[in-house]
Chains A and B, each alone.
Chain A
Amino acid sequence: MKSLRKISTGISNSFTIWSKELKRACGDIGVFLFFVVVPVVYPILYGIIYNTEGIHEVPLIVVDESHSSLARTFVRKIDATADVQVYAYATSMEEARAAIDNKEAYGILRIPADFSWKINRGEQATVALYEDMSGLLFYKAVLLATTEASLDGLVACDASPVHYEAVAQYNPKSGFASFLLPAILILVIQQTLLLGISMLATTTREKNQGRLIPPEICYSGTFRIVFGKALAYLTVYIPMTIWALIIVPYIFQLPQSAHYATILLFALPYLLACIAFAMLISTFIRGRETPMMILVFTSLIFLFISGISWPQSAIPAFWKYLGYALPSTFGIQGFVKINSMEATLNEVTFEYRMLWLQAGIYWLATCLIYGWNLGRNKLSNESTIT
Chain B
Amino acid sequence: MPKISLHSILQAANRETARLLHGRIYWFCILIAPVITWIFFLSMMCQGLPTDLPVALVDLDNSSVSRELARQLDAFEGTQIVAHYGDFGEARKEMQEGKVYGIFFIPRHFSADATAGKQTVLSFYTNNSYLIAGSLLFKDMKTTATLASGYVLLKTGLAHGQTEAQIRAKIQPVVIDSNPIGNPWLNYSVYLNNLILPGILALLVMCVTVYSIGIEIKEKTVKEWLAAGRFSITGSILGKLIPQTIFFFLVGLLLFVVLYLGMQFPVNGSLMRMAAALFCLIIASQALGVFMIGCFPTLRLGLSFACIWGMLSFSIAGFSFPVNAMYPPVQALSNLFPLRHYFLLYVDQALNGRDLFYSWTHYIALLGFLLLPLLVLRHLKWSLLHVPYQP
Nearest chain B CB to A49 CB, angstrom units:
5
Known: A127-B176, A166-B126, A310-B50. A342 touches B131 (CB 8 A): no
A315 interface residue, CB < 8 Å from B?
yes
Highest count of chain B CB atoms <10 Å: which of A125, A136, A350: A136
Report the separation of the CA atoms of residues A29 and B303 in the bound assembly, to the nearest whole angstrom.
Answer: 13
B263 interface residue, CB < 8 Å from A?
no
Report whether B319 and A33 are in contact in the complex, using a CB–CB cutoff of 8 Å: no
Report whether A151 and B170 are in contact in the complex, using a CB–CB cutoff of 8 Å: no
A311 interface residue, CB < 8 Å from B?
yes
A-contacting 9-mer, from B6-14, B37-45, B273-281, B372-380:
B37-45
Size of the A side of the interface (Cβ < 8 Å), in residues, is 111
- Set of chain A residues within 8 Å of B351, measured between Cβ atoms: 133-134
Q: Mark A99-139, 1 if CB is under 8 A from B, else 0.
A: 01110000000000000000100111111111111111111
Report whether A287 and B304 are in contact in the complex, using a CB–CB cutoff of 8 Å: no
- Select from chain B the residue with minimum beta-carbon distance to A340: B129
Interface residues on B, range: 35 or more
Report whether A313 and B54 are in contact in the complex, using a CB–CB cutoff of 8 Å: yes
> Which of A129, A166, A288 sits near B178, CB closer than 8 Å?
A129
Nearest chain A CB to B107 CB, angstrom units:
10
Nearest chain B CB to A288 CB, angstrom units:
6
- Select from chain B the residue with minimum beta-carbon distance to A174: B128
Q: Mark A161-179, 1 if CB is under 8 A from B, else 0.
A: 1111111111110101011
Nearest chain A CB to B332 CB, angstrom units:
13
Known: A129-B178, A153-B173, A164-B121. A30 touches B304 (CB 8 A): yes
Known: A127-B174, A137-B322, A179-B131. A162 touches B152 (CB 8 A): yes
B53 interface residue, CB < 8 Å from A?
yes
- Set of chain A residues within 8 Å of B150, measured between Cβ atoms: 160
Report whether B352 and A101 are in contact in the complex, using a CB–CB cutoff of 8 Å: yes
Report the separation of the CA atoms of residues A139 and B136 in the bound assembly, to the nearest whole angstrom.
Answer: 13
Report whether B97 and A311 are in contact in the complex, using a CB–CB cutoff of 8 Å: no
B interface list, Cβ under 8 A from A: 25, 28-29, 33, 36-37, 40-41, 43-47, 50-54, 93, 95-98, 101, 113-114, 117-135, 138, 141-142, 145-146, 148-150, 152-153, 165-166, 168-183, 186, 188, 191, 196, 200, 203-204, 207-208, 211, 214-215, 218, 299-301, 303-304, 307-308, 310-312, 314-316, 318-322, 324-327, 330, 347-348, 351-352, 354-355, 358, 391
Q: List 14 A-B contacts (CB under 8 A).
A: A122-B170, A124-B169, A125-B173, A125-B174, A151-B172, A164-B122, A165-B122, A166-B142, A180-B321, A289-B299, A293-B29, A311-B101, A319-B43, A348-B97
